[in-house]
Amino acid sequence: MTLLKRCAYLIVLGVLFVGCTTAPTLSQSDVFETYGEIASFRKRLAEDESNGLFNLAPEGFRKAENKLNQAISLGRSKKDEAVADTMREGRVILDKAEADAITTKSLMREVLEARRLAIAAEADTIMADQFKALDKKLRQAAEQVEQGDLEAAKKWRPEMLEGYSEVELEALKQDATENARYDISQAIKSEADEYAPKTLKLAREELALAIAVLETNRTQRTKAKNHALEASKQARRSIELTELIKEFDNREYTSEDVLLWYQKQLAQINESTDERLPFDLPNHEVVKVLQDKLANYAELRKTELATRIDLQTRLAAVERQNQEAQARFDKIQDLFSAEEANVYRQGHNILLEMRAFNFPSGGTDIQAENFELLDKIVTAIKSFPSPDVVVSGHTDSVGGDETNRTLSQQRAETVASFLEKVGGVERTRLTAIGYGEARPVANNETEIGRKSNRRIEVLIINE
């Protein structure tokens, strides 16, 4: 082979080698434009995260994100078949993650509401460590749901419900009373405990009242802050009194000196009026001149005292009622397994979301397999002295609106009839309502979601 031919051959080989080693790859934005299934999967994940589902099925969504990243990497190399396989696997994983998240959301409905209220009170910032610890427990419960252990997940509810409620209340207290606590601490440092103990006591009482308002009704933040402001004023007043008494001591004031100083202060207050104070009269006559100007303030203080006593009485009554309601709720909750029903407390009322109550397709007859569950519902109702009961039927979105509404109404009436004729519940206290597909608790686009939406709910009203 001539030198010229060898050179030409080497050049051709080089071009081929460079072409093989520098195969074009797609940018990430190109991948989303080229592979619609990747873009759709990414959008679905983003919506789930925006809806707060990631914490409700953390392991499943982590795996789904991994599959998305794998698909993007394969797409950049234009490996079409591998992309298709990875996306099929990803959709299976994401379907399960969403279903698990729906289950967790239903199982932890009250916990998630308590968490929302805690965030609204800025507990995630003010009580950051405690809040993170509670969120960790929520993720652990969600992981147990993912593993299918609903009973284990259910056991977390009381602890988390109490925990989120406590951090919400503590955050509200700290936000409302921070300045008052500081002012009282400064008064103590100034020795007001020794020189102005009565005034400092008033400050402490106002602080306690601010806290009591929040413990009774957490929405009364303005009222609590007003009491905290009064606590600050009294604390600062005790500091001023302490400094004044110390000044009298340093100047070695006699009793007469103190009284003359007192009359001078009254005279200064009275300077803006036309009438001079009659210091040649008994002190009560002098005070009477100014007393009328303070009448409105005195009436306000009297009203506040009455309010404080009434608040303490109502707080004790509310606490007693809450304890009784919680004890009844715990008893009813223990009647049902996680597979049978979700039990929710709504104030003094109880909502039973029946998960295991089944009707034949398109039918309204109660199946024998449901008799035991119905007996438990009757037991729950009879835990109350004379409750009203609302039975509501719900369907999925398959079929027409009117058909679903009619079917759900008939099923609700069938259950209500059983509660009357077999359970002994007075008919006048029973209401049956069919909502059809109008109140879904899950996504109707999946079989798991549709199954969750086909349900009977029993609301036991004790208010």
Per-residue tokens: 26: 């797609």
d(CA 389, CA 67): 48
pLDDT of residue 359: 78
CA distance 393 to 407: 8
Domain-wise residue ranges, the chain? 17-107, 256-323, 335-461
Q: What is the pLDDT of residue 338?
A: 85
Tell me the whole-structure pTM to 2 decimals.
0.44
The listed CATH number (3.30.750.24, 3.40.50.1820, 3.30.1330.60, 1.10.3720.10) that belongs to domain 335-461: 3.30.1330.60
Alpha carbon distance 143, 56 (integer Å): 8
> If pLDDT is split at 50, 70 and 90, which confidence band does 132 have?
very high
What digits encode the pLDDT tens for the residues 12-27? 444 333 344 445 588 9
Least confident of 202-206, 307-311, 418-422: 307-311
∠ at Cα 20 (18, 22), nearest 5°?
65
Write down the mean pLDDT value for the chain.
Answer: 87
Tell me what the mean pLDDT of segment 414-440 comes to: 92
Query: How far apart are the two ends of the chain, measured CA to CA in Å?
Result: 104
391-401 confidence digits (pLDDT tens): 999 988 888 88
Q: What is the pLDDT of residue 184?
A: 93
Q: What is the pLDDT of residues 209-258, one digit of tens each?
A: 999 988 888 888 889 889 999 999 999 999 999 999 999 999 999 989 98
How deeply is 392 buried, as exposed, middle or buried, from its count of CB atoms within 10 A (0-12, 13-18, 19+)? Answer: buried
Q: What is the pLDDT of residues 260-283, one digit of tens each?
A: 999 898 888 777 767 777 888 888
Which residues, at least 6 apart from 444, have a Cβ–Cβ distance to it below 8 Å? 396, 397, 398, 437, 450, 453
